[in-house]
Amino acid sequence: MPQPPYGQAPEATRTSMSPLLTVTGDTLVAVDFGPRTRSEGRRPPGPYRRLFAHRGARAFTIGNLIARLPMGMFSVSAVVMIAGSRGSYALAGAVTATGLAATALVAPWTARLVDRYGQARVAVPATLFAALGSLALLLCVRYDAPTWTLFAAYAATASTPNTGGMSRARWAHLLKGDAESLHTANSFEQAADELCFMLGPVLAAFLCGTFFPEAGTLVGVVLLVTGVLAFAAQRSTEPPPRGCTADANDTNVKSPLRAPGMPSLLTVCLAMGAVFGSTEVVTLAFADAQGHRTAAGAVLALQAAGSCAAGLWFGRLRLSGPPEYRYPWCIAAMTTLLTLPLLAASLTGSLLLLSAALLIAGMATAPTMITNMSLVQQRTPDGRLNEGMTLAVTALLGGIACGSAVGGWMVEHLSPTAGYGVPVTAAAAALVIALAAMP
Position 249 confidence tier, pLDDT thresholds 50, 70, 90 = very low
CB atoms within 10 A of CB 98: 16
Percentage of the chain surpassing pLDDT 70?
86
Amino acid in the structure at residue 227: G
**Residue 21: what pLDDT?**
58
How far is residue 228 CA from its own chain's centroid? 17
Q: Residue 393: which region, alpha, beta or left (left: phi > 0; alpha: psi -120 to 50)?
A: alpha
Distance CA 372, CA 184 (A): 14
Nearest in space to 383 (alpha carbons), one of 240, 220, 171: 240
DSSP assignment string, 219-237: HHHHHHHHHHHHHHT-GGG
Q: Residue 19: which region, alpha, beta or left (left: phi > 0; alpha: psi -120 to 50)?
A: beta
Region 294-316: what's the mean pLDDT?
80
Question: pLDDT tens across 37-69, in order?
Answer: 554 456 777 888 888 889 899 999 999 999 998
Position 248 confidence tier, pLDDT thresholds 50, 70, 90 = very low
Residue environment code for 167-201, b if the CB has 16+ CB neighbours within 10 A, otherwise e = bbbbbbebbeeeeebbbbbbbbbbbbbbbbbbebb
Position 15 confidence tier, pLDDT thresholds 50, 70, 90 = very low
Distance CA 9, CA 21 (A): 5
Q: Is the pLDDT of residue 346 over 60?
A: yes
Nearest in space to 174 (alpha carbons), one of 164, 163, 189, 185: 185
Distances (CA, A) of 60 to 107, 206, 229, 237, 385: 21, 28, 10, 8, 18
CB atoms within 10 A of CB 414: 11
Distance CA 9, CA 12 (A): 8
Q: Best-predicted range by mean pLDDT among 167-171, 295-299, 392-396?
A: 167-171
Question: pLDDT tens across 71-107, in order?
Answer: 878 887 887 788 888 877 678 878 887 888 888 889 8
Nearest in space to 61 (alpha carbons), one of 161, 189, 178: 189
* 263 strand-pairing partners: none
Residue 165 φ/ψ, nearest 5 degrees: -65, -40
